[in-house]
Amino acid sequence: MKTKLLLLAAMFISTACANMDMDKVLATAGKVAKGPAPVSEAQEIAMGRGIASNLLGAAPLLDNKPVQKYVNQVGRWLTLNAERPDLPWHFSVLDDEDVNAFAAPGGYIFITKGLLARMKSEAELAGVLAHEISHVLKRHHVEAIRKSTRTSLITGLAKDSLQQSGVSPVLTNLIGVGTELYARGLDKHDEYEADRMGVVIAARAGYDPYGLPAVLQTLQGMNPTHSNLALMFKTHPSLSDRLDLLDRAMSGSLDRFETQPDLAHRFTTVIGQ
């Protein structure tokens, strides 16, 4: 089975070689299996900015500069302990009672006031932000947009000149697809992967790595019919499955980080002021 796949990949590459110059083939070899029109980082960022703008059209920013700065400090510190530290990372609190968090391509992360208010420490905030950061690191949304879009649109994006002033119709279209993705959610395996990566990024940044599962347990204890949980529950795998998988993933592997701080005091000082 594996040999067949390798053979197929080799055939694909050699066919491609006939039509393209070698440099291009080498540059895209890693992405061959996913299609011929990769989305560049600049395009990813432009797409993410558009999606972020749309999210801000649905819910306003929390009007509290110290809280917004604090969430950015925690998030930006996390990104310095992961890949892609040079993306234009931004972390924002949305003034909305819903319990949810969102990642847009290129490094735009959002968390709702409703979720923030249910957290008890900086390690919990770090765990949730690190989960969202992981979606960006792995380009989960970009890939989901690619999969749910006609190939012609992606090819159109490749032809698009980003130097053009304003946002092109093709990009606008993809931004629309990306925004609607929040109502459908990602593949559950993307969510599990972001959970596994999130706890590691929190540990790397020096935090108690159990912040993310602690938040998931808090949500588990909420009334599941609560209207503010509806979208998050619809777009994510069950909390019990996520916690069960985190239990297996974390068991034994994070013991040496047990004594790292959760900075509950700093968190309540800023959030409770």
Partner 1 sequence: MKWKAIIFLGLLSSLSLAGLTQAGWAQAGEIAYTVRPTELKAKPFSDAVILARLEQRTKVEVIGRRSSWRQVQVDGKTGWIKMLSLTFNHSDRKAGDTGLATLFNVASTGSTGSSVTTGVRGLSEKDLKHTKPNPKALEVMDAYGVNKSEAQQFSKVGELSSQSMKYIAEPASGGKK
Site for partner 1 in 9-68 (CB under 8 A): 49-50, 52-61, 64-65, 67-68
In the complex, the smallest distance separating the C-beta of residue 13 from partner 1, rounded to whole angstroms, is 27
In the complex, the smallest distance separating the C-beta of residue 41 from partner 1, rounded to whole angstroms, is 18
CA distance 178 to 192: 20
The reply on whether position 186 binds partner 1 by CB under 8 A is: no
Q: What share of the chain is helix, strand, coil (3-state, %, to 5)?
A: 65, 5, 30
Residue 55 exposure: Cα atoms within 13 Å on the Cβ side: 29
CA distance 38 to 32: 9
Which residue in 87, 142, 177, 197 binds partner 1 (CB under 8 A)? 197
Task: Give the Cβ contact number of residue 198 at 10 Å.
Answer: 27
CA distance 56 to 49: 10
What angle (nearest 5°) sits at the alpha carbon of residue 229, between those of residues 179 and 78?
65
Span of 9-17, 31-39, 118-126, 149-157 interacting with partner 1 by CB under 8 A: 118-126
8 Å CB contact between 52 and 172:
no
- Please say which residue, 37 or 105, places its beta carbon nearer to partner 1: 105
- Please say which residue, 28 or 253, places its beta carbon nearer to partner 1: 253
The reply on whether position 149 binds partner 1 by CB under 8 A is: no
How many amino acids of this chain bind partner 1 (CB under 8 A)?
107
In the complex, the smallest distance separating the C-beta of residue 224 from partner 1, rounded to whole angstroms, is 8
Side chain identity at residue 262, one-letter code:
D
In the complex, the smallest distance separating the C-beta of residue 48 from partner 1, rounded to whole angstroms, is 11
In the complex, the smallest distance separating the C-beta of residue 164 from partner 1, rounded to whole angstroms, is 17
